[in-house]
Structure 1
Amino acid sequence: MTTIAEPAVEAPALGLHTDLSNEAYHADKTSLSSSGARKLLPPSCPAKFRWEQDNPQAPTKTFDHGNAAHARVLGRGAELVLVDHDPWTTKAAKAEVAEARARGAIPLKRADLDMVDAMVATIRQHPLASALLDPAYGAPEQSGFWIDEASGIRRRVRFDWLPSIQGGRLIIPDYKTTTDASNEAMQKDIAKYGYNQQADWYEDGARALDLGGVDAELLLIAQEKKPPYAVNVIGIEFGSRVIAEAKNRRAIEIFAECTESGHWPGYADNEPNYLALPGYAENRDKEIYL
């Protein structure tokens, strides 16, 4: 049986926090985030959610690139440190990388730092993306905590960017880095990564925190990591949001149930899962053998 680890620090107060660190935000294990909600549902399971909460993963190259771009585009985040060695396998390079990570910075090679700077320049030249992320009319990395009325659990959200002007509809931009920002690729990513669930979660958070009334809307700002660093601003279609709301509600219920019981199940507990062939394989084999 897996149980919830006791929080190392006091949970942040309910409401909006404008200066809460990323570390303090993620340290709150008593609340459920959008990414956590997605991890509770298939094809994942509560056991994997609990493990990842209690065992943070080490940074990867892709993770570093995304965080570095976020820091430069949004104007807040980890320090970026140039480790100007090629390769990074030398003793001196390893020492600089370790020192940077020890203080929470992101070590980058010269080419990676140049890539991030070029991505930022492209964002600033994009009419819609630059308007959505205009530092004169908003602020980055805003965290919110609230109580879910239906279940009583704590929920949390960390907005990439929150506009400061609240007149009219609240548009919440969320910055994503990707290898392919085309409509076709992003449609698949919405399904793969549950970005429709993220949109519903963030908009629900904005309403619960009284930030933008009932008309809050999340827009994805997707940017490719290779020249010309193309940008695509994407909204989530209504039908996808309806599905997302139902999935998020089920994830909240699972979190509440597991929190109360202290049990975070894997894929099957008391009886087997009976599986059919994938649709394509069943159709193929029917034609050949039946």
Structure 2
Amino acid sequence: MTTAVEPKAAEAPALGLHTDLSNEAYHADVTSLSSSGARKLLPPSCPAKFWYEQDNPQPASKTFDYGNAAHKTVLGNGPALVVIDHDAWNTKAAKAEVAEARAMGAIPLKQHEMQMVTDMADAIRKHPLAAALLDPAYGAPEQSGFWIDEASGIRCRVRFDWLPSMHQGRLIIPDYKTTTDASNAAMEKDIDKYGYNQQADWYETGARALGLGDQNAELLLIAQEKKPPYLVNVIGITLGSRVIAGAKNRAAIETFAECMSTGYWPGYADDEPNYLELPGYAENRDKELYLP
């Protein structure tokens, strides 16, 4: 499937770093490519899905609510949090309060959910390294940057969870993630599943393009579990994984440039069939069981 329908355009923010640009204004710039967009352009997704989502954002869900609420309490910036003080949300009164909160752009939470994100923020402040990285005396949340990719000429954008106030020397860029399991083994899988290595390369490239720090900018993930005791794991991405990510991001940028030029946003297979094989484990199993 392909789509060439233009999403609603908004005035593009100026190039450079923006310290007070709203989240809505940042995401409204459909002329530029973000890290999450770059990942959406590549398999197992496709350009058609990416382009559709430019004008059809994902609806609210509990997973997004928890993540955004935790960002608000930990980083100090984001939508308002509103406690809906009903044991169940299936009553008419509760539904009305939830709808009112959503209409105001707030995140509705139950009392125990508000306590959860409050306790998560407390756990971050007690973690020596995470607390140092997110110290409000030396940085600020939710800053946006826009730059031109020299090789393709397209606009790129980044929204830093947190940016240190000192932009000289080696820049460390903290990025906060909530998860069910912040152990090393689980996060290695998440780096692959969610493309966190691509995000690291994108943010580091953006920092260099924006003139932030020297050429050795590094993103560190601050992963935190959503269940007590709300354990924290500060994670760096190895050089080899970031080199691979750089190649994938380059492929995404070139795909975006081509699609923007032609107005053609391909799906999985538009002109000919895709021939697929059994997964390796299934092929080995069935060969052993059924082939001579």
TM-score, length-normalised on structure 1? 0.98
Q: Cα offset for 1:7?
A: 4.0
Partner Cα distance (1:271, 1:88) in 2? 48
Q: Cα offset for 1:70?
A: 0.3
Alignment match, 1:19: 20
**Which blocks of at least 5 consecutive residues in structure 1 are unaligned?**
none
Verify: 1:193 aligned to 2:194, yes or no: yes
Alignment match, 2:250: 249
Q: Percent identity?
A: 79
Contact preservation (8 Å) 2:8, 2:55: no
Alignment match, 1:129: 130
Verify: 1:275 aligned to 2:279, yes or no: no
Alignment match, 1:155: 156
Worse overlay, 119-128 or 91-100: 91-100
Partner Cα distance (2:7, 2:99) in 1? 29
The AA in structure 2 aligned to 1:183 is N
Q: Cα offset for 1:273?
A: 1.2
1:137-173 alpha-carbon deviations (Å, 9 max, x no partner): 0010000001110011110000000001234310000
Partner Cα distance (2:60, 2:242) in 1? 31
Alignment match, 2:178: 177
Verify: 1:106 aligned to 2:107, yes or no: yes
The AA in structure 2 aligned to 1:73 is V
Partner Cα distance (1:231, 1:177) in 2? 9
Verify: 1:284 aligned to 2:285, yes or no: yes
Worse overlay, 159-168 or 257-266: 159-168
Contact preservation (8 Å) 1:7, 1:30: no
Q: Cα offset for 1:270?
A: 1.6
Alignment match, 1:90: 91
Contact preservation (8 Å) 2:35, 2:158: yes
1:8-54 alpha-carbon deviations (Å, 9 max, x no partner): 42011110000000011011111000000000000000111111111
Q: How many residue pairs align between the two structures?
A: 290
RMSD of equivalent CA atoms: 1.0
1:259-284 alpha-carbon deviations (Å, 9 max, x no partner): 11111110012221111111111111
Contact preservation (8 Å) 1:201, 1:248: yes
Alignment match, 1:77: 78
Question: Which runs of structure 1 show a deviation greater than 4 angstroms over 4 or more consecutive aligned residues?
Answer: none
TM-score, length-normalised on structure 2? 0.97
DSSP-derived class of the 1:284 partner: helix
Contact preservation (8 Å) 2:173, 2:218: yes
The AA in structure 2 aligned to 1:174 is D
**Which blocks of at least 5 consecutive residues in structure 2 are unaligned?**
none
Alignment match, 1:259: 260
